[in-house]
């Protein structure tokens, strides 16, 4: 482990400009991620007199609209450099934070949620992953593992910060603070770091599983049956993770947990994600993403079952540990998968389709689960169903992996 950390430190240091810029993008994408929005879920429901199902439906509608918009907006990464896309993405995310904090009406809340999902979870991560996939070849897995750490740092630090700020100035204060940080720290830092393009060295070669990959067009990807087989498994982590984080207030109330104790469990997930993300990055560079693909949902299946079956407070920490293993493999693996399967020439447009589908899954998760909660089906019971989904999807991913290798 010490050697692994040392190697990654040397790699990050020699590529600090590009790794650092994309890291900040994923870090500040937290303001549009479900775990961050979910921290204000109970306050928004109380402010506008919404049931769990109604708030889940509103969130689903806003996220669906962002998923529809994202494929068109994401194509900008194929016609202009990432720093120019970030130049309008970051201010739009800041505006969304302010809108949610000052929303006088439910319609403004819906608009704010739409912008948070589109520019936060959608475009901020889209810029980071697309640029990393293009800039790095032989070390794509390692680079992706370092870039996605931004999400983990956000999930480790921000929940506790939000709880503390909310105790001081109410639930609106964290959103105002988020907008200020985005514009005073995120905007100038990201633009300065990403303004210089990285060109892969001539000595850098892709992993064995990616050497024969040709560059697919967006139309070819949409018509590829294997693409939809891949999505059947790829969409499970965002669906399940969003469901848990969005309904964390409901789960806390159901199990009688202390909100601060629940928030304090996020660092467990973050640290575990970092460790297993770095391990996955090394494995991707050595074996290729396709060989690992059939196995990455197994930790998520166990984590989902843990939520359904374990009620003591220590079960939170076990779940966060297992979810961290899953997240570490998921974020690193999926960041490196698409250029390995479909090439890098049209990566911005292709990733926009994938991210749009993932955003769609994050819309369906809270909406569907919220509707079932209103019908009397408790969230722990639903999590057992989701564990079964992961098991079945793993077999589909194994078939997809074999199909891609065969045609390469």
Question: Which tokens hold the place of 116?
Answer: 């948070």
* Burial environment of residue 146 by CB neighbours within 10 A (0 to 12, 13 to 18, 19 or more): buried
Report whether 130 contacts 34 (CB < 8 A): no
Helix 125-135, helix 82-102: angle, nearest 10: 160
Pick from 38-42, 113-117, 131-135, 225-229 the range whose average pLDDT is largest.
113-117
For the cut 70, the answer to whether the pLDDT of residue 141 exceeds it is yes
pTM: 0.71
Tokens for 198, please give them.
């990285």
Highest-scoring range by mean pLDDT, 95-109, 236-250, 270-284, 296-310: 95-109
Whether residue 18 contacts residue 198, with contact meaning beta carbons closer than 8 Å, is answered with yes
Q: Per-residue pLDDT for 217 more than 60? A: yes
- Range name among 136-145, 200-209, 253-262, 339-348 with the lowest pLDDT average: 200-209
Instruction: Please answer whether residues 160 and 264 qualify as being in contact, where contact means their C-beta atoms are separated by less than 8 angstroms.
Output: yes
Provide mean pLDDT across the span 324-345. Answer: 79
Local confidence band at 1 (pLDDT 50, 70, 90 cut-offs) = low
Report pLDDT for 174.
Answer: 93
Residue 385 has pLDDT above 60, yes or no: yes
Q: What share of the chain is helix, strand, coil (3-state, %, to 5)?
A: 85, 0, 15
Task: Select the more confidently predicted residue: 368 or 174.
Answer: 174
| pLDDT at residue 203 greater than cutoff 50 | no
Q: pLDDT at residue 340 above 70? A: yes
Q: What is the DSSP string of 190-232?
A: HHHHHTSPP---TT----GGGTT-----HHHHHT-HHHHHHHH
Q: Which of 159, 152, 408 is nearest to 289 (CA)?
A: 408
pLDDT > 90 in the chain, percent? 22
CA torsion sign, 222 to 343 to 122 to 396?
positive
pLDDT averaged over the chain?
A: 83
**Contacts of 115 by beta carbon, 8 Å cutoff, 6+ apart:** 66, 92, 93, 95, 96, 99
Distances (CA, A) of 156 to 36, 125, 272, 306, 324: 11, 18, 11, 21, 11
CB-based contacts of 395-400 (< 8 A; 24+ apart in sequence)? 395/294, 396/229, 396/232, 396/233, 397/229, 397/230, 397/232, 397/233, 397/293, 397/294, 397/296, 397/297, 398/293, 398/294, 399/229, 400/226, 400/229, 400/230, 400/233, 400/293
* Pairwise CA distance, residues 97 & 113, whole Å: 9
CA torsion sign for 368, 370, 373, 375 is negative
First to last CA, the chain: 34
Question: Using 50, 70 and 90 to split pLDDT, how confident is the model at 142?
Answer: confident
Tally Cβ neighbours within 10 Å of residue 315.
Answer: 16
132 or 24: which leads in pLDDT: 24
Between 153 and 266, whose confidence is greater?
153
Most confident of 56-70, 85-99, 391-405: 85-99
Closest CA to 5 of 142, 101, 99: 142
Segments making up each domain of the chain, as ranges: 15-196+214-407
- Asked if the model's pLDDT at residue 280 lies above 50, the reply is yes
CA 165, CA 351: separation in Å to the nearest integer?
A: 35
Classify domain 15-196+214-407 by CATH number: 1.20.1250.20
Query: SS3 sequence, 269-286?
Result: HHHHHHHHHHHHHHHHHH
pLDDT band for 115, please (50, 70, 90 cuts): very high
Q: How confident is the model at residue 312 (pLDDT cuts 50, 70, 90)?
A: confident
Give residue 7's pLDDT.
Answer: 64
What pLDDT does 5 receive?
A: 62
Return the closest-CA partner of residue 320 out of 389, 385, 244, 382.
244
Please say whether the beta carbons of 64 and 242 come within 8 A.
no
Cβ density class 171-202: b for 16+ within 10 Å, e for less: bbbbbbbbbeebbeebbebbbebbeeebebee
Q: Cα Rg for the chain, rounded, in angstroms?
A: 20
């Amino acid at each position: 482990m010490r050697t692994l950390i040392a190697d990654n430190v040397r790699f990050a240091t020699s590529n600090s400009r590009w790794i650092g810029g994309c890291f900040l993008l994923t870090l500040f994408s937290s303001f549009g991620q479900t775990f961050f929005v979910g921290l204000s879920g109970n306050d928004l429901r109380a402010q506008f007199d919404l049931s769990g199902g109604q708030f889940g439906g509103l969130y689903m509608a806003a996220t669906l609209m962002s998923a529809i918009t994202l494929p068109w907006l994401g194509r900008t990464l194929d016609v202009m450099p990432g720093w120019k896309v970030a130049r309008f993405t970051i201010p739009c995310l800041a505006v969304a934070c302010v809108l949610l904090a000052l929303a006088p009406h439910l319609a403004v809340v819906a608009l704010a949620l739409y912008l948070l999902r589109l520019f936060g979870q959608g475009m901020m991560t889209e810029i980071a992953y697309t640029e990393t996939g293009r800039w790095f070849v032989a070390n794509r897995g390692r680079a992706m593992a370092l870039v996605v750490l931004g999400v983990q740092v956000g999930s480790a630090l921000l929940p506790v910060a939000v709880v503390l700020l909310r105790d001081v100035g109410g639930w609106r204060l964290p959103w105002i603070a988020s907008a200020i940080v985005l514009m005073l720290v995120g905007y100038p830092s990201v633009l300065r770091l990403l303004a210089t393009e990285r060109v892969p060295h001539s000595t850098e070669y892709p992993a064995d599983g990616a050497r024969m990959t040709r560059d697919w067009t967006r139309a070819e990807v949409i018509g590829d049956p294997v693409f939809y087989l891949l999505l059947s498994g790829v969409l499970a982590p965002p669906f399940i993770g969003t469901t848990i984080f969005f309904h964390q207030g409901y789960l806390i109330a159901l199990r009688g947990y202390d909100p601060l104790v629940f928030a304090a469990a996020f660092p467990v997930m973050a640290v575990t994600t970092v460790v297993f993300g770095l391990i996955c990055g090394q494995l991707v560079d050595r074996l290729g993403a396709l060989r690992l693909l059939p196995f990455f949902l197994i930790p998520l299946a166990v984590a989902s079952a843990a939520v359904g079956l374990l009620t003591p407070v220590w079960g939170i920490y076990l779940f966060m540990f297992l979810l961290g293993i899953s997240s570490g493999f998921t974020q690193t693996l999926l960041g490196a998968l698409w250029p390995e399967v479909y090439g890098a020439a049209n990566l911005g447009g292709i990733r926009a389709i994938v991210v749009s589908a993932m955003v769609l899954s994050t819309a369906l998760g809270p909406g569907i689960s919220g509707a079932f909660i209103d019908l009397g089906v408790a969230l722990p019971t639903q999590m057992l169903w989701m564990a079964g989904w992961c098991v079945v999807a793993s077999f589909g991913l194994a078939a997809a992996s074999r199909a891609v290798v065969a045609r390469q």
